[in-house]
Chain A
Amino acid sequence: MTPNDTHSAARAAAHPGDAGRVDARRSAPPPNEPAAPRRERVRWEESLLPPLMALAIALVVGDLLILTFGQSPGAVYRLLLEGTWGNAYGFGQVLYKATTLTFTGLSFAIAARAGLFNIGAESQLASGGFAAALVGLALPNGTPGLLAVPLCLVAAAIAGGAVGAVPGWLRARFGASEVIVTIMLNFIVLAALNYVIATHLHVPETLHTPEMGSGAMPRFAAFSALFAGSAANTVLLLALAASGALWWYLFRTRAGYELRAVGLQPDAAEYGGVRVGSVWIRALTLSGALAGLGGLNYVLGYKHYYEEGFATGSGFLGIAVALVGRNHPLGVVVAALLFATLSQGGLAVNALVPKQMVDVLQAVVILAVATSVPEVRRALRAAARKRGGTP
């Protein structure tokens, strides 16, 4: 391990079932290996307990915040649910927000599976949206969607992937911490995009590009009047497809196996013949590409132009989504729905309590999950050892 391998053990803690220096006791095999079904159960408990505990803690914090504002928690939570899952418009908005969060969540998850932190989804998402808007603007008006949409899609993936590849390469080549590089790149890339928009591409008096003539993807409102007015659109299907594809890649392909092996134990993977450096580059490139695709939701599905700051915060929330979804593609989709509900719910309850309350709750959920994962794991393994019998 190189001295620059800054965050390796912190990283190890991000993964369930991960050997590392964090808890040395685990590296010794438990006496009387428990039967397979029991181990399976422990694994499930390890994945599900922290998010559930986190939600409980968030509920308590939410109650306190609501009470400080002199409102009744019951009324606020009822309003939150009614404003999100209770009507078609609110539900459509939840789906719209969940679409972007699914992409950024998957983006963080694939890097995390390789043992890396991609904190750069914020700028990768913007680059993807920007590239898609550029392609949409460059194509002649009325280009058929069957041609324009895939082109925009590829452009978004390439732009996001390119931004992701830089920290991957710097990490593989120089051992530079990808955490710091991705954070710094956020500022650099966003400043560069703002410069291009401000000097060359904006519609006067606004911060966005002109509308693109082709490449739009239909909103759900086009199929059902129920969704009228909500931004939910067919990019959601792309997000679900990406989740399925990532599951296939991670758990059914050789490259995915190598990626997970590197995430669990880079030294062992290297000894097993995996080229760790190229896996790092590949993982961060794919991670950036997934985040880049998230830009389509706004650009192709909703407004049909790129606007400065169109997805501020979605990149960081993707970290929360992946964490609660336990870096599993399916879990990410569920967690994205949860966080989208909170975001949209904040608007619904704004009349009673400041919508900023949900910002606090989202942060509390991340904090609680991150804190309880190592604790729950220790407690469960200790309990499993005890159940497994005395040595």
Chain B
Amino acid sequence: MILLVFLAQTLRIVVPYLLAAAGGVMSERVGVVALTLEGLMLSGAFTAAVGSYYAGSPWVGIACGLAGGLAMALLYALAVVRYRADQVVVGIALNLLALGLTRFFLRLAFDSSSNSPRVPGFGGGASLAGGASTNPAVASLVASLTNPLVWIGVLTVPAVAWLLYHTPFGLRARAVGEKPEAATSLGVSVPRVRVLGVALSGALAGLGGAYLALDQHQFTDGMTAGRGFIALAAVIFGRWDPKRVALACVLFAAAETLQIQLQGAQVIPSQFVEMIPYLLTIVALAGVVDRATPPAALGRAE
């Protein structure tokens, strides 16, 4: 039973990581730094809440979340691909922009500086299952399994792996991320592939944000709370390979679940569990065991 509780909670936590990290893999594999994941997720969460609220349907929320992340990603692509601006600086600026814009429009749309009103989301299954079973773990699991974003999240990783390794676009994308000069000489348009990669990352991260807002039935200020950076950590710890990245996401989510489960027990202070993804990432970069090597053209303007 404890295992079931653990699994249900891990599944709930891992979905946004999977979505955002899959986006991060797409962006970094075409050579564009994915420091923006946090901002993309936050934008997606906000637009999803707005869409779901005004349309009264979480499905519209999903579409809006995707569009919100996509719009921010296109702005990012415009700055770093078209204008060849510095990816790190623009990435940080975009995170600040997402934070500012969501706060501003939160005041404008809902006249609040902290959260939106309750919006339609997924999780109606919880009450349904609650009728059938009084077990909270089963109820939570059923709620997750009736949430389409959970399925999208779980299927995203194999989809991205297939796209990268089994399609012509994936081959071009990897070439652009490793050696853009070679790709150019073969007639591949580097800017176009990069814009597509970044756009895809925005759509996926936006869905990750939408999951957060629709799962909690509201948008709260800064609700991503560093999840975009944990997703980035998973991308690096998973060495830019979709399968390993997914495993990293599951690992980080499991650690978080463990911390929540142990909260009462005071075994390890929660702050130390919070550090795990970040510490592992630094260790991976330093290469104590086997160094994580990023795509060769990552961060290069062209």
Closest-CB distance, A27 to chain B (whole angstroms): 14
Is the CB–CB distance between B278 and A184 below 8 Å? Answer: yes
State whether B94 touches A363 (Cβ < 8 A). yes
Q: Give the nearest-CB partner of A320 in chain B.
A: B93
Q: Give the distance in Å from the alpha carbon of A118 to the alpha carbon of B229 in the complex.
A: 16
**Chain A positions 360 through 384: 1 when the CB is less than 8 Å from some CB of chain B, otherwise 0:** 1111101100111111000000000
Q: Given A199-B269, A363-B96, answer yes or no on A117-B278 (Cβ-Cβ < 8 Å).
A: no
**From B78, which residue of chain A is reached at the shortest CB distance?**
A371
Please choose the segment from B40-48, B79-87, B130-138, B208-216 that sits at the chain A interface, where 4 or more of its residues have CB less than 8 A away.
Answer: B79-87
Given contacts A4-B293, A4-B294, A356-B104, whether A367 and B93 have CB atoms under 8 Å apart is yes
Chain B binding surface SS class: helix
When distances are taken between beta carbons in the complex, the residues of chain B under 8 Å from A359 are: 96, 99-100, 103-104
B88/A179 in contact, CB under 8 A: yes
Does A185 sit within 8 A of B, measured CB to CB? Answer: yes
CB neighbours (8 Å) of B232 from chain A are: 180, 183
A7–B32 Cα distance when bound, in Å, is 10
Given the contacts A363-B97, A364-B97, A191 and B88 also touching, CB distance less than 8 Å: no
Please tell me if the beta carbons of B104 and A13 are within 8 angstroms of each other in the complex.
no
Q: Give A173's nearest chain B residue, CB to CB.
A: B286
Give the interface centre of B86, B104, B274, B294 by most chain A CB atoms within 10 Å. B86
B275 near A187: Cβ-Cβ < 8 Å: yes
Closest Cβ neighbor of B76 among chain A residues: A367
Chain B nearest CB from A379 CB (Å) reads 12
Decide yes or no whether A131 CB sits under 8 A from chain B: no
Chain A nearest Cβ from B153, distance in angstroms: 23
Note all chain A residues with C-beta closer than 8 A to B285: 4, 170, 174, 176-177, 180-181
Residue of A nearest to B102 (CB): A356
Whether B287 lies near A188 (C-beta < 8 A) is no
Bitwise interface map of A from 188 to 219 toward B, beta carbon under 8 Å scored 1, else 0: 10011011001100000000000000000000
Q: Point out the residue from B93, B291, B301 that lies within 8 Å of A363, measured CB to CB.
A: B93
- With A and B bound together, what is the CA distance between A195 and B293 in angstroms? 33
- CB of A78 within 8 Å of the partner chain: no
Question: From DSSP, what is the main secondary structure of chain A's interface residues?
Answer: helix
B83 contacts A371, C-beta separation under 8 Å = yes
- On whether the beta carbons of A319 and B92 are closer than 8 Å, the reply is yes
CB distance from A124 to the nearest CB of B (A): 15
Complex Cα–Cα for A185 and B103 (A): 26
> With A7-B88, A170-B286, A180-B281 given, is the CB distance from A366 to B300 under 8 Å?
no
How would residues 95 to 134 of chain A score, 1 for a CB under 8 Å from any chain B CB and 0 otherwise? 0000000000000000000000101000000000000000
Q: How far is the CA of A9 from the CA of B296 in the complex (A)?
A: 12
Chain B, interface size category, equals 35 or more
Q: Residue among A22, A180, A316 with the most chain B CB within 10 A? A: A180
Q: Are A370 and B101 in contact (CB under 8 A)?
A: no
Known A187-B278, A373-B85; contact A6-B93, beta-carbon cutoff 8 A: no
Determine if A360 and B100 form an interchain contact, defined as CB atoms under 8 angstroms apart.
yes
Asked if A357 lies at the interface with its beta carbon under 8 angstroms from chain B, I say yes
Max chain B C-beta neighbours (<10 A), residue from A10, A199, A316: A10
Considering the chains assembled together, what is the distance between the CA atoms of A267 and B213 in angstroms?
A: 48
* Of A21, A173, A323, A356, most B-chain CB atoms within 10 Å: A356
Contacts A363-B96, A363-B99 known; list 14 others, CB within 8 Å.
A3-B293, A6-B299, A7-B299, A21-B301, A117-B88, A117-B89, A180-B232, A181-B282, A183-B229, A187-B229, A354-B104, A360-B104, A370-B89, A370-B90
Question: 5 tightest A-B contacts by CB?
Answer: A359-B100, A363-B97, A366-B93, A356-B103, A360-B100
23 pairs, A vs B, C-beta closer than 8 Å: A6-B298, A6-B299, A7-B298, A8-B300, A9-B299, A10-B33, A13-B84, A22-B301, A177-B294, A183-B229, A185-B278, A188-B279, A195-B269, A195-B272, A357-B104, A359-B96, A360-B100, A362-B100, A367-B97, A370-B86, A370-B89, A371-B83, A371-B90
Residues of B near any A CB (own CB < 8 A): 33, 35, 79, 83-90, 92-94, 96-97, 99-101, 103-104, 106-108, 113, 226, 229, 232-233, 236, 269, 271-272, 274-275, 278-279, 281-282, 285-287, 291, 293-294, 296, 298-302
